[in-house]
Structure 1
């Protein structure tokens, strides 16, 4: 996988989101066409995404998830 593209998963391993780390992409001199190619299966990921039956996460929950991704 390309440095700078991170997939967010839940505790069950289901993919829930994608983060594009622009500084990392720049550092590794990744071209936009490479990112687009790496995400060529995005429609399949969207189609296979499990919908949450619980209420939507709030911003504080999202910040906690992001904080755990920091190196």
Structure 2
């Protein structure tokens, strides 16, 4: 299976927010803040396509919270 292209990542709003440049780490930001960044990201569609193609879970990508299992409510 061929891995999808990552060329779109160069245009991502979260580019560089991996903690190596001294800025806040995107992965440690609140989910609401991550989703807010995705809302104005020019490559959000490509990001979500990539996430789905690679089976990404437990992450915010393309403006969607991807979970490895459904959320449950205690006692239901």
Q: What TM-score results when the alignment is normalised by the length of structure 2? A: 0.29
The structure where helix makes up a greater share of residues is 1
